[in-house]
Amino acid sequence: MHENYDAIIIGAGVIGAAIAYELSKKGCRTLSIDKLPAAGYGPTSNSCAIIRVHYSTLEGAVFAYEGYFYWKNWREYLGIEDESGMAVFHETGCMVMKTEVNGYLERIREVADRFHIPYEEWRPEEIIERLPIYDMQRFGPPKRPGDAGFCEPTGGGVEGAVFFPTAGYISDPQLATHNLQRAAEARGAQFLFNKRVVEIPRANGRVTGVVLDDGTRIDAPVVVNVAGPYSGPVNRMAGADGDMNIRTRALRQEVTHVPSPEGFNFETSGFVVSDSDIGVYCRPETGNHILIGSEDPECDEREWVDPDSYDREFTEQWTTQAYRMAQRIPSLGIPSRMRGCVDLYDVSDDWIPIYDKSCVGGFYMAIGTSGNQFKNAPVAGAMMASLIEYCEGGGDHDQSPLAFPLRYVGGSIDVGFYSRRREINPNSSFSVIG
């Protein structure tokens, strides 16, 4: 292993691997370091890996729509064959229920119209045609067990939904990350696993590399923090949090898996659904199961944790999500054996990621991404590589933010939108929706 690199990337999740690939394409000699035994082995492996194009902000929507095309053209984008196989994008589409919570999707439709993102308006009866297992009564606002009226209708019905055809999910997010690793390695990138970064030395206002838990020092003029739930501690290690207006924290999350109702194959006939009336989202899961996650309604307490010490067992939240889904699918069976996953999000103050340089020369951040950025990993990797090239070439990103060109959608995005020094964005959903 070489002891000198052009860039060291801390974290080999899906976004870290994408940055390694994109930097390698630019001729950089990169080393990705992860404390776990394989790429995508941490929270990425438990990502719901939903690919969707509806966001509450203009920038979020166009970025996600750009990302859709990377997944649509996955093999062509990577240009390799992985001995483990290639990740598959299941383009099922995504249905978003119209509710008071999301403003009946008026803002989201305006954004979609502006960027020519295709969508269809579905009336309640059209939803029932496609999902005959559904009950379209209103149940909102979402509640918890023990609350008065939990799981009881609250009057009237959901108005309908908007269906976005350019959406779906990746069934194996860890495999997708391995694909990126292999593509990066084909360009000369290296990966080092089972090693933890314990120090980020600096000299003359710049990073000079990293020190590992075994005492090894590796030199590089660029270090990129893509450490997921550990992003905050890594920033502090580099002394890079002094001018940050947006911070990140680790948030514990549970995802519920239940079998599809008897007589209906949700794996083949279902699609991604966002339903703020019942406070959950869902998608098809392997084995004719339904994957269910919380949309973070106000009644769900947020559990901020130490990423090295948190409860990895299922709690009442698993059952709460299953019961909420059963409001919409009355025939849903809820097994006694809990299946799904418990893992962490890396969440920023406004649930919008930080893709930025820092106040320390050569230290960059792709953080606060968990929950709603898996879909954007390939384009985020390309954008971060361009940002690093811009700044290391003398560009002042804080004063003159990089305009990153969008290869599929056209135009460009102001990368300053993702600045560490931005004000909290009031247009955010302040939830996993982004």
CATH hierarchy code of domain 94-165+253-346: 3.30.9.10
Helix (H, G, I), strand (E, B) or coil at 68: helix
Model confidence at 405: pLDDT above 70: yes
pLDDT tens for residues 315-326? 999 999 999 999
Domain 7-85+172-247+350-418 classification at class level: alpha beta
pLDDT tens for residues 102-148? 999 999 999 999 999 999 999 999 999 999 999 999 999 999 999 99
Q: How far is CA 260 from CA 171, 203, 257, 272, in A?
A: 17, 57, 9, 14
pLDDT at 434: 82
What percent of the chain clears pLDDT 90, i.e. is strictly above it? 95
pLDDT at 329: 98
What is the Cα–Cα distance from 333 to 25, expressed in whole angstroms?
49
pLDDT tens for residues 136-171? 999 999 999 999 999 999 999 999 999 999 999 998
Element (H, E) at 366: strand 363-367
Overall average pLDDT of the 176-193 stretch: 98
- The length of the chain in residues reads 434
Which ranges of 3-82 does DSSP label H, i.e. alpha helix?
14-25, 58-72, 74-78
What is the Cα–Cα distance from 318 to 293, expressed in whole angstroms?
9
Helix (H, G, I), strand (E, B) or coil at 313: coil
Question: Per the structure block, which two tokens stand in for 45?
Answer: 């492996």
Give me the chain's average pLDDT, please.
Answer: 96
Model confidence at 272: pLDDT above 60: yes
Element (H, E) at 223: strand 223-225
Q: What is the pTM of this model?
A: 0.97
Nearest Cα residue to 113 out of 190, 159, 157, 61? 61
Model confidence at 2: pLDDT above 60: no
pLDDT at 427: 86
- CATH 3.50.50.60 location in the chain: 7-85+172-247+350-418
Nearest Cα residue to 228 out of 344, 356, 355? 344
Model confidence at 36: pLDDT above 80: yes
What is the Cα–Cα distance from 258 to 115, expressed in whole angstroms?
36
- CATH 3.30.9.10 location in the chain: 94-165+253-346
pLDDT at 370: 79
